[in-house]
Amino acid sequence: MKNSFGNSVQITLFGESHGAAIGAVLDGFAPGIEVNEAFIAAQMEKRQGIAEISTKRREKDAVRILSGVFNGKTTGAPITFYIENNDKKSHDYNEIRYMPRPSHADYTAHCKYHGFEDYRGGGHFSGRLTAPLVAAGAVAIKALEKKGIFLGTHILECATLRDKPFGDYGRELAYLQSAALPVLNPAVGEQIKQVIAKASEVGDSVGGILETAVIGMPAGVGEPFFDSLESALSHAMFSIPAVKGVEFGMGFEIAKYLGSKVNDEWRMEADKPVTTTNHNGGINGGISNGMPILFRTAVKPTPSIFKDQKTINLATGENAVIKIKGRHDPAIIHRARVVQDSLTALVLCDMLALRYGTDYLAK
């Protein structure tokens, strides 16, 4: 049973969706790094989503820092983030206790934990557990910015709609910091809202693709073979509930071309090595090459839908039909972008600490 991730910088999650509280412990973070609680609150607000297209469960998500921060700076001790659960309706799950919801972790958790799992709201497998990741990630994001490393995520696709891909990285990443709906084309954003709203009206859900960019990452970061930069980022992205695929640069599309068409050739620009293209997404051999890091994740439609679905009754061993009650998102992609940013930042902090030492972020 493992709930920790990272090497030099490690994060451990605790809590359940309907338990008393959820939280995270961030260990190995360098001392002397500023902790901006206003920025943490702003990041938590992004995760709340947009009221008309998000769950009606409205937790305040007030983050309490119990350790590891003194006078606004990290001390070097483990940082504990604590968030209370208050807006719970656990009775919604009583009658489906032994009826696993399709495409949820209900059945797999039942098998792994022998029926002792907290089934309310998905328990420890709930997207609720991404809240402390966002709190910890906010500290990591600000630490990276002090080193000239900036990142951001937008909705590249939602259902059949497509936003424009990253192009002008610096300007677009700055824009995404304050964007309520993370899209680069506002017109597409309004269409995405309508698609999510229509799915909600008929008790259904939609998914999409998130695209993340990182600029300012120094070349030479990554620990091949098994802790390569791609490996670590992929590992983290797959921990986000509903993520079913990760690709870097051109991703699967690159397999269709000749090497002569997709190799990223080098040239000198202002006394600095750069590539003329970025088909590999800023990573070669699992190591950053100094170009923008670019990757995408596929987010499946939210599995909680308000339609009759076939399932089984684990108590009776019979086939059954389930209709889920409660408060659920018709789409999570707009809320997941800040989770993706947060985990990206935590991975980069860990990899930088492995490469340059644990005090690198504080220098």
How many other C-beta atoms lie within 10 A of the C-beta of residue 164? Answer: 12
- Ranking 217-231, 253-267, 325-339 by mean pLDDT, the lowest is 325-339
pLDDT at 183: 98
pLDDT at 321: 97
Paired residues of 150 in beta bridges: 215
Quick check: 290 and 274 in contact, CB under 8 A?
Answer: yes
pTM for the model: 0.96
**Contact residues for 345 (Cβ-Cβ < 8 A; gap 6+):** 137, 140, 141, 143, 144, 151
What CA–CA distance (Å, rounded) separates 140 from 10? 12
Give the tokens for residue 17. Answer: 């969706």
Please, which pLDDT band fits residue 90 given cuts at 50, 70 and 90? confident
**Contact residues for 153 (Cβ-Cβ < 8 A; gap 6+):** 176, 182, 210, 211, 212, 213, 337, 338, 340, 341, 344
pLDDT at 81: 98
Q: Quick check: 54 pLDDT over 80?
A: no
* Range(s) of the domain holding residue 50: 4-362
Residue with the bigger pLDDT between 94 and 15: it is 15
Residue with the bigger pLDDT between 23 and 56: it is 23
pLDDT at 1: 66
pLDDT in tens, 68-77: 999 999 999 9
Paired residues of 329 in beta bridges: none
Q: Quick check: 327 pLDDT over 90?
A: no
- Ranking 66-75, 98-107, 325-334 by mean pLDDT, the lowest is 325-334
Which residue in 335, 82, 118, 48 sits closest to 208, CA to CA? 335
What CA–CA distance (Å, rounded) separates 305 from 307? 6
Q: Quick check: 89 pLDDT over 90?
A: no
pLDDT at 324: 87
Paired residues of 151 in beta bridges: 214
Which amino acid, residue 59?
E
Residue 139 belongs to domain with CATH number? 3.60.150.10
What's the whole-number average pLDDT of the chain?
Answer: 95
Q: What is the mean pLDDT of residues 328-343?
A: 95
pLDDT at 91: 74
pLDDT at 88: 64
pLDDT at 56: 66
Residues in the chain: 363
pLDDT at 57: 66
pLDDT at 354: 97
Q: What percent of the chain has pLDDT over 70?
A: 98
Provide the number of structural domains found in the chain. Answer: 1
Give the tokens for residue 333. Answer: 């992609």
pLDDT in tens, 296-322: 999 999 999 999 999 999 999 999 999
Please, which pLDDT band fits residue 229 given cuts at 50, 70 and 90? very high
Q: Quick check: 28 pLDDT over 80?
A: yes
Q: What is the mean pLDDT of residues 102-123?
A: 94
Q: What percent of the chain has pLDDT over 90?
A: 90
pLDDT in tens, 144-189: 999 999 999 999 999 999 999 999 999 999 999 999 899 999 999 9
